[in-house]
Structure 1
Amino acid sequence: MKTMQYSPPPGGSGDSVWPPPPTTPDIAPTLRPFVSLLPLARAVAALGVFDFIGALGIKLLHGHAIQSISAISSTLVAGLVLGLICVSYLAYRIIFLRWTFLAYRNLDSFEAAGLETTAAWAVGWFFVPVVNLYRPFMVFHELWKAGTPGVDSRDEVAWQRVPSSPLIGWWWSSVILHVFFLRMLDKVLTNGLTTVASTVLFLILAAVSVALSIAVVTTISRRQEAKAREQAQSFPTYL
């Protein structure tokens, strides 16, 4: 039986391997897929309305509005109402934070450059004392600017030059007023106001805060949807 002998390539040494082993092609890192935020935005809107109704319910219970019912029935009704209020209160905030996380992570699918935080910290800043007075405000500015349709998010200078919306400032101001001013109101100003006036002011601020939150979430969601469609048309492989 005839055996085949190894012949090195011309000009090569006998120690080299021939044919050369196959090489693994470099694979470009895949981008995070875009996640549509519109379903979550609708959930935030619905739960925001329930949250406001819950705030109204708490004021009614606090003011002993349910007085014509027997003591046992009143206790049962109050317990049921408070339970529903607590559920809507927690659900609204959980869904809002979930929306914030996904909205910021969507900036990765746009290859946004120069972001100042991560999706996890976009949520985490809400729970850091003192920092939570301004950092979430900055996060939402980035969501607005880096998710602008028609602007290349990979160009940090380009999206940083995009003017932010006054809607972000109005929303954050309403949040600060609703959370902090109302606590001060309960301790300082209530003595000079009637219960009705205090309740009306509380409900007005709560309604404005919820309405602006819904407007911000819905608007940013639609902007990201438009940008994702624009990106899919220009770079089909991204999505």
Structure 2
Amino acid sequence: MQSGNYDPRPPEDRDATRATDSDRTSRTGRRSRRASEAKASDDGIMRRLSGRSDLDRAKAMRYEPYSYESNFTQLRWVVILLAAWSLVAIWLAWLDFSTVRVLSDLHDQGFTSVPPSTLSPQSMIDFAEREGLTCIDTSDVFMATYECNRLFDAQNIYEVVKGQSSLAFVILMALLLVNMFAFGSFTHRASRNLLTLNSSEQGFTPEKAVMWFFIPIMNLFKPWQVFRELFKGSDPEVTTSDDLAWKTTGKVSNLVHFWAGIFVLIFIYNPITIGRVWHSVRLTFTDSVVAHQRLVIADLLLALLGIAALLVVIELHKRQESRHVKVGNIIVTPPPPVDPLEEALKEGIRRKELDNRNFRRGSHDRKER
């Protein structure tokens, strides 16, 4: 009796088929391996570019002995990304200024309302009604009159400049996300380096130095405190014989205060809050012009923030490199993590012992009376 996988073809055909199947399987396997390797390579590039690989490596080894690690690679990426951020912010400011000029020109031409930023039949009908024109006939077809054509020309000009502004803003937000990883990687390593610079008992662990940037309300002042500590602990003028001297004699650059001030100001006054809070209601043509003028100011503040942050990281890196030369290469062991459960148990035991001591003292006093 023949098995279920019996092949009725001649032996030579069966051998050829098996060889073809084997070759096809081999090619498929090679393609799969190449695709996996390419994907892993792409992931590796993105992780290195964003600084995520350095953060993961530091996280895995954060309690192992280590020595000073230069921030040069992170600094290079941070400088490039912050420079790109500032340039895009300046470009966005120019585009918003161009929008102001377009609106002013339309106002001079006699328009009393802002054209729609996207072209659609209903938006153009509404635009025509606001301008006191009727641009559709009884068959709901747009009429190609001179006045109606002017509406379409105005809408086209406004749509182009608004589209460019939207594109620039999207690029700016993408750069913000990448900058968050790169700046966080730089901050983490700078904080981690303090121990190797003979500056102990820092108030912020490397993880918390990064974490405070992402906690609402707290990120209005905690990052400033983090960088004050980093600058003081990295001051090359502070003596290396006392590992706590940096707390009292370490100096902070005015760049840190300037950067922190711009940082807080932008949280309050930025393109998003202008559109949704400060100038959310734009009833007149003038309201829209004023709102876009404010956008120009907000865009320039974003560019200024990027420049200030760039100068801060460069100055901090210089300080740490100079102090490292002064201190030399030393190996340090970070303090072990604090177990909150263990600390709670210790606190409970301490309070229980205190209560027992007070109880015994009270009993002794009552007996004496």
Q: Deviations over 1:6-53 (max 9, x none)?
A: xxxxxxxxxxxxxxxxxxxxxxx9852212123322321211122233
Kindly tell me: are residues 171 and 86 of structure 1, through their superposed partners in 2, closer, same or farther at Cα, counting changes over 3 Å? Answer: closer
Alignment equivalent of 1:202, drawn from 298, 306, 311: 298
Question: Which residue of 69, 77, 88 maps to 1:54?
Answer: 88
CA contact under 8 A between 1:148 and 1:224: conserved in structure 2?
yes
Report if the CA contact (8 A) 1:44-1:214 is conserved: yes
Percentage identity across aligned positions? 23
Q: Which has the higher helix share?
A: 2
The answer to whether the 8 Å contact 2:198/2:243 transfers is no
Quick one: which of 138, 148, 155 aligns to 2:225? 138
2:202 and 2:90 mapped to 1: Cα distance? 39
Q: Secondary structure at the match of 2:302?
A: helix
Are the structure 2 counterparts of residues 155 and 185 from structure 1 closer, same or farther at C-alpha, using a change threshold of 3 Å?
farther
Q: Who is 1:44 aligned against?
A: 78
The number of residue pairs the alignment matches comes to 204
* 181-190 vs 90-99, which moves further: 181-190
SS at match of 1:194: helix
**In 1, are the aligned partners of 2:67 and 2:330 still within 8 Å (CA)?**
no
Query: In the superposition, relative to structure 1, how do residues 213 and 123 fare at CA in structure 2: closer, same or farther (>3 Å)?
Result: same
Any gaps of 5 or more consecutive residues in structure 2? 1-62, 100-116, 118-155, 333-369
Task: Say if 1:238 and 1:82 are closer, same or farther in 2 by CA, change over 3 A.
Answer: same
Q: Gaps (5+ residues) in structure 1?
A: 1-28
List aligned pairs for 1:2-151, cutoff 5 A.
31-56=65-90, 60=95, 63=99, 84-151=171-238
Q: Structure 1 CA distance, aligned partners of 2:263 and 2:198?
A: 30
TM-score w.r.t. structure 2 length?
A: 0.48
Distance 1:35 1:178, change over 3 A: same
Name the structure 2 match of 1:24.
none
Show the counterpart of 1:180.
268
TM-score relative to the length of structure 1: 0.70
Q: 1:139 to 1:78 in 2, by over 3 A?
A: closer
Q: CA deviation at 1:198?
A: 1.5
Q: Residues 160 and 220 (structure 1 numbering): CA distance in 2 closer, same or farther, change over 3 Å?
A: same
Please tell me whether the aligned partners of residues 36 and 225 of structure 1 are also in contact (alpha carbons under 8 angstroms).
yes
* Residue pairs, 1:143-182, within 5 angstroms: 143-152=230-239, 155=242, 157-161=244-248, 162-182=250-270
Q: Which structure would you say has the larger Rg?
A: 2
Shift of 1:157: 4.3
Aligned-pair Cα RMSD in Å = 3.5
